[in-house]
Structure 1
Amino acid sequence: MYKTEFSKYNGLMEKIMDEQTTLEVHLSTEFSQNVPKKFLKYTPDEWARYAFENELEYSINYYKDEKPYCQVTSDSMSIILNFYDNNILKHNLMIVFSKGDIIKGDFKEYSNNKIFLKQISWYGDLGKTLLFYSNKKKDNVFLKEFVKENEKTVLIEQFGTADLSKHWFDTPKDYLDYEVLLDYENLFNQLPSVPA
């Protein structure tokens, strides 16, 4: 159903970089100017596999009907899905899954082999972001939305609580195991606290 490519969208250039350039970007981000020699021989696929196993950053672009559909970026703390607009090469929806929480300055991975749906952001003329926080006391939802009022852009912020028990998903089993997360309409239908 999907074609994959180990590439990354570059917002400044407004294009998807090729796999080799994307690999070079990931290696320079990870190792700066001191890329170990063994990685210089890696293919983009080999880097993605290695990065997944070692909690390092890598990117995959998924194509649907030969068009860019979604970019998945995974690193040690999160999995970020950026969905492309159907008409132009630009992200219009971002979904962030957290692999753990920062506790007293240290990142602690969830011990249940799960990821937590932490953020949904819509882009367009005006932006809208939903943030979800789950802790032992209560589950919090924070909405930040820009709206037009009397020809002025106004920021509206709202806080609330909701049942976030359905915000937990299985951790991907391998470096390509993201297809279940790509079906965001089905994903949103499972989340009563999130408007589709």
Structure 2
Amino acid sequence: MYTLKFAQYNNTMKEVMSEEGTLENIVDRALDRKPTAEDKKHLKNAEDWAKYAFDNDKEYYVTFFKGGEPIACVNNYFRKISVTFLTYNNGELFIYLYMIYNKEKDSHNKDVDGKIFLRQIELYDEDADKRITNKVLFRDNGIMNVETITETKRPEFGMNYEEKETQVNLSHNWLRKPQNYTDYEYLFDYQNILKPEYLDLP
């Protein structure tokens, strides 16, 4: 159903990078240009790096394609997993949904093994007249904080900011951890992961 490329989506360039370019970015940024001898053994091939990174809590990317078009880019790194959902808008790749899961054991999931926690959502909508960004953060005490930023482009530029907080049940924010380095398709079912009280989604 899906084809995979172990590559990063570059939002500045509006394109999925090459696997070679992605590995170069990982060396420069995640490894601070100081890969270990063991790292170097696996940096010759992007999929080999992904397998190694998954098992050793290092950063890697995998982009999923359907019908030849990129639909989601997953970034798995030490503390978090992020899923960037992609579509085409006026001929350019566009991020319409971004979801972040915590996977480390800390104050909010110290007693939960084998789980990840949906911590943050960003939803984007844009047309010729305006761009709307909804940023949702789930706090440990069950509070959902929602920031809505509306940027008006025409007839003249303007910006409006709103913020609200709501008490929600976070029990359904817990999902199982990926079992291997490509096990992410279950995270694409955002319409069931995001409950109706979170956001209205298409």
Question: TM-score under structure 2 normalisation?
Answer: 0.83
- Among 184, 187, 195, which residue is 1:181 paired with? 187
Give the corresponding residue for 1:25: 25
CA contact (8 A) 2:173 2:193 kept: no
Residue number in structure 2 paired with 1:145: 148
Q: How many residues align?
A: 188
4+ long deviations beyond 3 Å = 36-41, 100-103, 107-111, 147-152
Indicate conservation of the 8 Å contact 1:96/1:118, yes or no: yes
Preserved contact between residue 172 and residue 193 of structure 2 (Cα < 8 Å): no
Q: Which residue of 2 aligns with 1:99?
A: 103
2:128 maps to what in 1? none
**Partner Cα separation in structure 1 for residue 53 and residue 111 of structure 2:** 19
1:47-196 residue pairs with structure 2 within 5 A? 47-87=49-89, 88-100=92-104, 111-124=112-125, 125-134=131-140, 138-147=141-150, 152-188=158-194, 191-195=195-199, 196=201
SS of alignment partner, residue 145 of structure 2: strand
Gaps of at least 5 residues in structure 2 are 126-130
Percent identity of paired positions between Structure 1 and Structure 2: 28
- In structure 2, the CA distance between the partners of 1:126 and 1:164, relative to structure 1 (3 Å rule), is same
Residues 167-186 of structure 1: per-residue CA shift (max 9 Å, x gap) = 00001111111000012123
- Once the 2 structures are TM-superposed, how far is the Cα of residue 118 of structure 1 from its aligned partner? 0.9
Provide the residue aligned with 2:48 in structure 1. 46
Distance in 2 (alpha carbons) for counterparts of 1:59 and 1:151: 36
Q: CA–CA distance in 2 between the matches of 1:96 and 1:23?
A: 22
C-alpha distance in 2 between matches for 1:67 and 1:90: 12
Q: Distance in 1 between matches of 2:189 and 2:142?
A: 24
Q: How far 1:122 moved relative to its partner?
A: 1.0
Structure-2 separation of matches of 1:75 and 1:100? 10
State the Cα deviation string for residues 74-111 of structure 1 (Å, max 9, x = none).
Answer: 111111000112332121210111113665xxx98664
Q: Structure 2 counterpart of 1:132, which letter? A: F
Query: Separation in 1 of the partners of 2:83 and 2:111?
Result: 19
TM-score normalised over the length of structure 1: 0.85
Task: Work out the CA distance in 1 between the residues paired with 2:143 and 2:72.
Answer: 28
Quote the Cα distance in structure 2 between the aligned partners of 1:151 and 1:86.
24
**Which deviations, in whole Å up to 9, do the C-alpha atoms of 1:35-90 show, x marking residues without a partner?**
33443443111111111111111000011111010000011111100011233212
